[in-house]
Amino acid sequence: MAHSFRFLDDIAVADLAFKAEGDSVAELFRAATEALLETLAETSTVAVTWERTIEHASGELDELLFEWLSDLVYWKDAAGVVFHDADLSVIHDGATWMLAAVLRGAPVDQATQTLHHDVKGVTKHLYEVKQQGMHWYAQVVVDV
Protein backbone atom coordinates (compact mmCIF):
# COMPACT_ATOMS: atom_id res chain seq x y z
CA MET A 1 0.00 0.00 0.00
CA ALA A 2 1.49 3.32 -1.04
CA HIS A 3 -1.31 5.50 0.32
CA SER A 4 -5.00 5.40 1.15
CA PHE A 5 -7.80 7.30 2.80
CA ARG A 6 -11.17 6.56 4.32
CA PHE A 7 -13.99 8.76 5.49
CA LEU A 8 -14.86 8.60 9.18
CA ASP A 9 -18.61 8.71 9.78
CA ASP A 10 -18.54 8.72 13.57
CA ILE A 11 -15.96 11.45 14.28
CA ALA A 12 -17.64 14.79 13.61
CA VAL A 13 -21.42 15.01 13.51
CA ALA A 14 -21.82 18.31 11.62
CA ASP A 15 -18.58 18.10 9.66
CA LEU A 16 -16.80 15.56 7.51
CA ALA A 17 -13.70 13.69 8.67
CA PHE A 18 -11.17 11.45 7.01
CA LYS A 19 -8.10 9.48 7.92
CA ALA A 20 -5.21 9.39 5.43
CA GLU A 21 -2.14 7.21 5.54
CA GLY A 22 0.98 6.56 3.52
CA ASP A 23 4.26 4.74 3.46
CA SER A 24 6.05 8.10 3.25
CA VAL A 25 5.30 11.74 3.95
CA ALA A 26 4.68 12.35 0.24
CA GLU A 27 2.23 9.43 0.11
CA LEU A 28 0.45 10.77 3.20
CA PHE A 29 0.04 14.13 1.48
CA ARG A 30 -1.25 12.40 -1.67
CA ALA A 31 -3.83 10.46 0.34
CA ALA A 32 -5.01 13.54 2.24
CA THR A 33 -5.17 15.51 -1.01
CA GLU A 34 -7.22 12.81 -2.75
CA ALA A 35 -9.59 12.65 0.21
CA LEU A 36 -10.21 16.40 0.12
CA LEU A 37 -10.58 16.45 -3.68
CA GLU A 38 -13.11 13.61 -3.50
CA THR A 39 -14.94 15.46 -0.73
CA LEU A 40 -15.52 18.29 -3.19
CA ALA A 41 -16.35 16.35 -6.37
CA GLU A 42 -15.92 13.05 -8.13
CA THR A 43 -12.51 13.81 -9.64
CA SER A 44 -13.07 11.67 -12.74
CA THR A 45 -15.91 14.01 -13.79
CA VAL A 46 -13.71 17.12 -13.59
CA ALA A 47 -11.90 18.20 -16.75
CA VAL A 48 -8.48 19.85 -16.71
CA THR A 49 -8.87 23.42 -17.94
CA TRP A 50 -7.38 25.23 -14.94
CA GLU A 51 -3.93 24.83 -13.36
CA ARG A 52 -1.93 26.44 -10.53
CA THR A 53 1.57 25.84 -9.22
CA ILE A 54 1.69 26.09 -5.44
CA GLU A 55 4.61 26.06 -3.04
CA HIS A 56 4.61 26.04 0.75
CA ALA A 57 7.28 25.72 3.41
CA SER A 58 6.98 25.15 7.15
CA GLY A 59 9.15 24.07 10.04
CA GLU A 60 6.38 21.67 11.15
CA LEU A 61 5.01 18.85 9.02
CA ASP A 62 1.50 19.06 10.50
CA GLU A 63 1.36 22.79 9.71
CA LEU A 64 2.49 22.16 6.13
CA LEU A 65 -0.32 19.67 5.56
CA PHE A 66 -2.84 22.02 7.16
CA GLU A 67 -1.67 24.95 4.96
CA TRP A 68 -1.80 22.79 1.83
CA LEU A 69 -5.30 21.47 2.47
CA SER A 70 -6.48 24.97 3.38
CA ASP A 71 -5.02 26.22 0.09
CA LEU A 72 -7.16 23.72 -1.80
CA VAL A 73 -10.24 25.18 -0.13
CA TYR A 74 -9.01 28.71 -0.88
CA TRP A 75 -8.58 28.02 -4.61
CA LYS A 76 -11.96 26.29 -4.77
CA ASP A 77 -13.54 29.50 -3.55
CA ALA A 78 -11.24 32.12 -5.13
CA ALA A 79 -11.24 30.58 -8.61
CA GLY A 80 -14.62 28.81 -8.43
CA VAL A 81 -13.09 25.47 -9.35
CA VAL A 82 -13.10 21.84 -8.31
CA PHE A 83 -10.16 19.59 -8.92
CA HIS A 84 -9.17 16.68 -11.09
CA ASP A 85 -5.81 15.97 -9.46
CA ALA A 86 -2.64 17.36 -7.93
CA ASP A 87 0.94 16.34 -8.56
CA LEU A 88 3.01 17.06 -5.47
CA SER A 89 6.33 16.48 -3.81
CA VAL A 90 7.33 16.99 -0.19
CA ILE A 91 10.94 17.28 0.89
CA HIS A 92 12.69 17.97 4.18
CA ASP A 93 16.03 19.77 4.29
CA GLY A 94 16.64 19.04 7.96
CA ALA A 95 14.93 22.17 9.26
CA THR A 96 12.12 22.95 6.84
CA TRP A 97 9.43 20.88 5.14
CA MET A 98 8.74 22.05 1.58
CA LEU A 99 5.81 21.22 -0.68
CA ALA A 100 5.68 21.87 -4.42
CA ALA A 101 2.46 21.03 -6.24
CA VAL A 102 0.61 21.47 -9.49
CA LEU A 103 -3.13 21.60 -8.89
CA ARG A 104 -5.44 20.90 -11.84
CA GLY A 105 -9.18 21.19 -12.30
CA ALA A 106 -11.97 23.15 -13.93
CA PRO A 107 -14.61 25.72 -13.05
CA VAL A 108 -17.62 24.28 -11.24
CA ASP A 109 -20.13 22.93 -13.75
CA GLN A 110 -23.15 21.11 -12.33
CA ALA A 111 -24.07 19.83 -15.79
CA THR A 112 -20.86 17.83 -16.29
CA GLN A 113 -19.43 17.27 -12.80
CA THR A 114 -20.60 15.14 -9.92
CA LEU A 115 -20.33 17.58 -7.02
CA HIS A 116 -20.29 16.40 -3.40
CA HIS A 117 -19.71 18.89 -0.56
CA ASP A 118 -18.90 22.59 -0.42
CA VAL A 119 -16.03 22.54 2.08
CA LYS A 120 -15.80 25.80 3.99
CA GLY A 121 -12.50 25.11 5.71
CA VAL A 122 -10.08 22.68 7.27
CA THR A 123 -10.36 22.64 11.05
CA LYS A 124 -7.94 21.92 13.89
CA HIS A 125 -10.68 19.91 15.62
CA LEU A 126 -9.24 16.40 16.17
CA TYR A 127 -6.50 17.26 13.62
CA GLU A 128 -3.51 14.98 13.87
CA VAL A 129 -0.41 14.03 11.89
CA LYS A 130 1.80 11.28 13.24
CA GLN A 131 4.28 8.61 12.35
CA GLN A 132 3.97 5.06 13.66
CA GLY A 133 6.84 2.85 12.65
CA MET A 134 7.37 3.34 8.94
CA HIS A 135 3.81 4.60 8.31
CA TRP A 136 2.45 8.15 8.38
CA TYR A 137 -1.12 8.99 9.42
CA ALA A 138 -3.32 12.08 9.41
CA GLN A 139 -6.81 12.68 10.70
CA VAL A 140 -8.58 15.70 9.25
CA VAL A 141 -11.97 17.27 9.92
CA VAL A 142 -13.39 19.73 7.38
CA ASP A 143 -16.25 22.14 7.87
CA VAL A 144 -18.98 21.53 5.25
Q: Which domains does the chain have, with CATH numbers?
A: 3-143 (3.55.10.10)
At residue 85, does pLDDT exceed 80? yes
Tell me the mean pLDDT in the region 8-35: 87
Residues 100-122 have pLDDT tens digits of 999 999 999 999 999 999 999 99
The chain-wide mean pLDDT, for the chain, equals 94
Residues 48-60 have pLDDT tens digits of 999 999 999 999 9
What is the rounded CA–CA span in Å between residue 101 and residue 56? Answer: 9
This prediction has a pTM of: 0.90
Q: Are 121 and 63 in contact (CB under 8 A)?
A: no
At 1 the pLDDT is 52
What sign does the CA torsion over 66, 31, 135, 138 have?
positive
